């Protein structure tokens, strides 16, 4: 399933809002962020249940069951600039089907919780068309393999060329990659450097036990 994997493995549902969004000085917060997160989850569920492109439609088909989430919590929304890596390095990323691919570390975003600063690496990976790229964040945390998917969870990232851009890092939008639902897909496995030493009790839980 390499063609399907190349397009979808790190970007999730491309029609849905990103988990790490760009903000400008002129942008405004949603009038009701909890309602926005709830509506997003409903749209995702409808997409996965009905779309021909849903991973539940891939062979071998897997019966759809509702996704599970932590309650939406505004305390898990942070803002950060991108802290660029002055010497971007290429690293090998292993995926769930045993293959390796290359990713370039372009920098980090950070947030403060429990009186500590935590950082997430921003990866640039080759897109399905030569010369194109997409950007991803993925992580494990103290819930991984317990309340949440044992491989880890993802956040989408839309990079802006303006170095002063402030990104909204919303862990309520942390999602499971498609390989959590279907063996037809492979997805990058977070590296040990991508582990957060705290319990991220926000976003998507394990789909099933």
3-state SS of the chain: helix, strand, coil percent to 5?
20, 35, 45
Q: What would the pLDDT profile of 83-116 be if each residue is shown by its tens digit?
A: 999 999 999 999 999 999 999 999 999 999 999 9
Q: If we measure between CA atoms, which residue out of 148, 151, 156 comes closest to residue 203?
A: 148
Q: Please report the pLDDT score of residue 130 as a whole number.
A: 80
Q: What would the pLDDT profile of 43-78 be if each residue is shown by its tens digit?
A: 999 999 999 999 999 999 999 999 999 999 999 999
User: How many other CB atoms are there within 10 angstroms of residue 129's CB atom?
Assistant: 9
In the predicted structure, residue 18 carries a pLDDT above the cut 50: no
């Amino acid at each position: 399933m390499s063609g399907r994997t190349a397009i979808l493995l790190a970007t999730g549902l491309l029609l849905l809002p990103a988990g790490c969004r760009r903000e400008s000085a002129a942008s405004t917060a949603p009038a009701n962020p909890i309602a926005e997160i709830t509506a997003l989850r409903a749209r995702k569920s409808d997409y996965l249940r009905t779309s021909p492109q849903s991973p539940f439609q891939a062979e071998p088909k897997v019966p759809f069951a509702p996704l599970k989430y932590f309650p939406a919590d505004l305390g898990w929304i942070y803002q950060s600039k991108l802290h660029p890596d002055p010497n971007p390095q290429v690293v090998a990323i292993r995926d769930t089907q045993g293959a390796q691919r290359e990713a370039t570390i372009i920098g980090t975003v950070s947030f403060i919780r429990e009186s500590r600063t935590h950082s997430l690496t921003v990866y640039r990976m080759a897109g399905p068309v030569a010369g194109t790229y997409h950007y991803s964040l993925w992580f494990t945390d103290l819930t991984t393999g317990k309340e949440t998917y044992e491989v880890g969870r993802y956040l989408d990232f839309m990079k802006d060329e303006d170095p002063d851009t402030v990104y909204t890092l919303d862990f309520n939008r942390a999602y499971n990659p498609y390989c959590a639902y279907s063996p037809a897909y492979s997805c990058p496995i977070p590296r040990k450097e991508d582990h957060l030493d705290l319990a991220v009790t926000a976003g998507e839980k394990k789909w099933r036990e």
